[in-house]
Chains A and B, each alone.
Chain A
Amino acid sequence: MTNRPPHWVVAIAVVPAIVLGAPLFALLWRLPWSDLGGALRSEAAKSALGLSLITSLSATVLCVLFGLPLAWLLSTGTGVMTRVIRALCLLPIVLPPVVGGVALLLAFGRRGVVGQWLADFGIQLSFSTAGVILAQFFVSLPFFVLSVEAALRQMDIEFAEVAQVHGASPTRVFTAVTVPSIAPAIAAGSVLAWARALGEFGATVTFAGSLQGRTQTLPLAVFNLLESDPADAVVLSAVLVVLAVAVLVVLRDRWFGVLRSEVQR
């Protein structure tokens, strides 16, 4: 006998499936298949695509460079400071992105706490491409740090001990033994962070604005085009859907693999 759910469960379960599936279906339905290239060749679309790729990849690189040491620090600490820093790192996940943008503006804007000081050196982050990268870094770092810290905590400390006894310095242990061992988590964290950076809207529009060619990334361009050229907006949206599906495919073993093993247990 199979443990099949009763009909009323199926009936209820169909509702969210429709709510989640219908928008994607509608997007594909309204896609101007005959003129896909035309929409992508427009000046706004081309600059948004290029800008999105450059900024999101830069933000991801920053996440790896700063996130790895941060995750290492968090994974070894148990004190109050560690907990405070971890809470700070996780805040952007639950914070409304617009609020993040306002906070960034207050810190790094032209009259911000740090921004004022940066302005003395002729550096302005707000409403610049660098500002877009900063906003994306702000919202995507937690995803990288969470993924890597979890892997570091799960790693058996005895690996590092053996390397230490054999004469490796802490830095050497980390680069030669630890990082290669958690490479899958680093890769998954990078992809997650990149996906988050690519989709960033609220913090970017608040902190960096929506200047075509400088700060108008794909999501901002979609929002703008919806008024002037809805068909182009649909095509650009489809580009983001394709990228999102690609992320799912890349991470499928990591997420769906977990689901499978749960089922088998």
Chain B
Amino acid sequence: MTAARVAASIEFARGEIHLRLDLPDVPFVALTGPNGAGKTSALRCLAGLEQAAHVEWPDGEPASRGYLPQRVMLYPAMSLADNIASSMRFAGLSKASIAERTAELLDLVDIAALARRRPHEVSGGQRQRTGLARAIAATPKLLLLDEPFSAIDVASRARVRARIVKHIAESGASCVIATHDPNDLEATDAASIVLS
């Protein structure tokens, strides 16, 4: 709980829009605003995927990141469990701890029964749950989530969201969420930045 939050200041040009935003020092930051305002671009800048962007990290660049893009992008050749495990493998965690944590995360997002399925064999909501688990698996310092709960069915969205939010808060990570959903703001108690 006491881990230092990630602070960042991004400068990037998107079309003719020149954007500068400073992330406040709180666990959750929500990027909101109309389509095309640059929410996804801002997340990509923080992920280090935009060459043209200039990102400043006053407290140093985060050592590890977790990323859930809007289209989820689960690796097609891997099972859901392997997708979740992948980010821990890339982070160099031990085999035993990866297996244990993968099982925990499968339960956390309620897809344990689908562990061995491939991404194309499950629904969009189930893919999003898997993408969420993959992003938080290696307990990164900075989490970047693009519309993270939008595809999950309404009946279970609040439950999954509450679990994920609690998990992230306890891990001490900073989390930037791009969202349209007011419920996301409420559930995360996020400082919101409106892009326009």
Q: Which of A162, A167, A172, A181: most chain B Cβ within 10 A?
A: A162
Report the stretch among B1-9, B23-31, B69-77, B152-160 that lies at the interface: B69-77
B84 to chain A, nearest CB (A): 11
Specify which of B67, B73, B77, B91 is in contact with A180 (CB 8 Å cutoff). Answer: B77
Q: Which 9 pairs across A and B sit closest by C-beta, in order of nearness?
A: A180-B77, A165-B67, A166-B87, A168-B90, A167-B90, A165-B47, A166-B90, A158-B73, A181-B77
Using A165-B48, A166-B65 as known contacts, list a sample of 10 further A-B pairs with CB atoms less than 8 Å apart, ordered by residue number in A.
A161-B69, A163-B86, A163-B90, A165-B47, A166-B66, A176-B89, A176-B90, A177-B75, A180-B78, A181-B76
B138 part of interface (Cβ distance < 8 Å): yes
B122 part of interface (Cβ distance < 8 Å): no
Chain B's closest residue to A179 (CB) is B77
Q: B-contacting residues of A (Cβ < 8 Å)?
A: 156, 158-159, 161-168, 172, 176-177, 180-181, 183
> Would you mind naming 8 contact pairs between A and B with Cβ atoms under 8 Å apart?
A161-B67, A163-B86, A164-B48, A165-B48, A165-B67, A166-B91, A181-B75, A183-B77
Chain A's closest residue to B47 (CB) is A165
Chain B's closest residue to A159 (CB) is B73
B64 part of interface (Cβ distance < 8 Å): yes
Residues of A within 8 A of B64 (CB): 167
Chain A's closest residue to B138 (CB) is A166
Chain A's closest residue to B44 (CB) is A161
Asked if A158 and B75 sit within 8 Å, CB to CB, the answer is no
Asked if B87 and A156 sit within 8 Å, CB to CB, the answer is no
Q: Bits for B144-157, please: 1 = Cβ < 8 Å to A, else 0.
A: 10000000000000
Chain B's closest residue to A183 (CB) is B77
- A110, B45: Cα distance in complex, Å: 57
Residues of B within 8 A of A168 (CB): 90
B95 to chain A, nearest CB (A): 15
Residues of A within 8 A of B144 (CB): 165
- A164, B87: Cα distance in complex, Å: 10
B47 to chain A, nearest CB (A): 5
Residues of A within 8 A of B134 (CB): 166
Q: A-contacting residues of B (Cβ < 8 Å)?
A: 47-49, 64-67, 69, 71, 73, 75-78, 86-87, 89-92, 134, 138, 140, 144
A140 to chain B, nearest CB (A): 26
Residues of B within 8 A of A166 (CB): 65-67, 86-87, 90-91, 134, 138, 140
Chain B's closest residue to A162 (CB) is B73
- A181, B65: Cα distance in complex, Å: 23
Residues of A within 8 A of B77 (CB): 180-181, 183
B92 to chain A, nearest CB (A): 8
Asked if B65 and A165 sit within 8 Å, CB to CB, the answer is yes
- A172, B64: Cα distance in complex, Å: 16
- A181, B69: Cα distance in complex, Å: 19
A156 to chain B, nearest CB (A): 7
Asked if A176 and B86 sit within 8 Å, CB to CB, the answer is yes
Residues of B within 8 A of A159 (CB): 73, 75-76
Residues of B within 8 A of A158 (CB): 69, 71, 73
Asked if A162 and B69 sit within 8 Å, CB to CB, the answer is yes
A78 to chain B, nearest CB (A): 15
- A159, B72: Cα distance in complex, Å: 9
A252 to chain B, nearest CB (A): 21
- A164, B48: Cα distance in complex, Å: 9
- A168, B90: Cα distance in complex, Å: 5
A178 to chain B, nearest CB (A): 9
- A158, B77: Cα distance in complex, Å: 15
Chain A's closest residue to B137 (CB) is A166
Given contacts A166-B86, A166-B90, contact A180 B66 (CB under 8 A): no
Residues of B within 8 A of A183 (CB): 77
B78 to chain A, nearest CB (A): 7
Asked if B75 and A180 sit within 8 Å, CB to CB, the answer is yes
- A158, B75: Cα distance in complex, Å: 10
